[in-house]
Amino acid sequence: MEENKAASVQETSAEEVVHSRPRYEQKILEIIRTVNSPKLLRDKLDDYHANDIAEAFSELTQFEREKLYRMLGTERLTEILEYMDEDDSAKFLSEMNIRKTIAIINEMETDKAADLLKEIDKEKREIILELLEPEVRKRFRSYSPTMKTKSVRA
């Protein structure tokens, strides 16, 4: 009887922990939708984990995402994209201008970036690979021989 009671308490506790985990998406959405100052937006979003922001991304309109692409730094956007599945990351990366996309790919771990690039439109992928920093291109070649890069003119 004591064992069943203890097991029941443990199950309830684990269940309560899962349900009591705060969900920040609504607060994050409100911040993104109401704050127009880039510095204030960055400061307010710095209070949230990249995973929470990533979860809110799918609720944003393309216009709202583009606002974030302009206002957030490369490092923070990279961190957010790394918490998304590859399909979502590729979709959002494809919405960004080529310079921001290249900067983010340069920041990512090679395996994550290579997987992500495979999901991006072939034409854009070739442009990105051609414009990556030389040391990043070398990492891609060593990571995946099938990830071909064109030679870049000096």
> What tens digit of pLDDT does each residue of 126-135 get?
888 889 888 8
Q: What is the pLDDT of residue 91?
A: 93
Q: Summarize pLDDT for 90-125 with one digit per residue, the tens.
A: 999 999 999 999 999 999 988 888 888 888 888 888
What is the Cα Rg of the chain in Å? 20
Q: What is the dihedral of CA 23, 28, 30, 31, to 10 degrees?
A: 150
User: Higher confidence at residue 73 or residue 18?
Assistant: 73
Question: Average pLDDT over the chain, rounded to whole?
Answer: 82
Q: What is the pLDDT of residue 148?
A: 54
**Which element (helix H / strand E) includes 73?**
none
Rounded (10°) angle between helices 25-34 and 62-71: 80
Tokens of 86: 């590859």
Distance CA 29, CA 52 (A): 11
Q: What is the pLDDT of residue 95?
A: 93
Q: What is residue 83's three-state secondary structure?
A: coil
Distance CA 129, CA 102 (A): 8
Q: What is the pLDDT of residue 147?
A: 57
Q: Summarize pLDDT for 38-87 with one digit per residue, the tens.
A: 999 999 999 999 999 999 999 999 999 999 999 999 999 999 999 999 99
Vertex 61 angle, CA 57 and 63, to 5°: 110
Q: What is the largest CA-CA distance in the chain?
A: 77
- DSSP symbols for 19-37: HHS---HHHHHHHHHH---
> What does the pLDDT average to over 13-38?
77
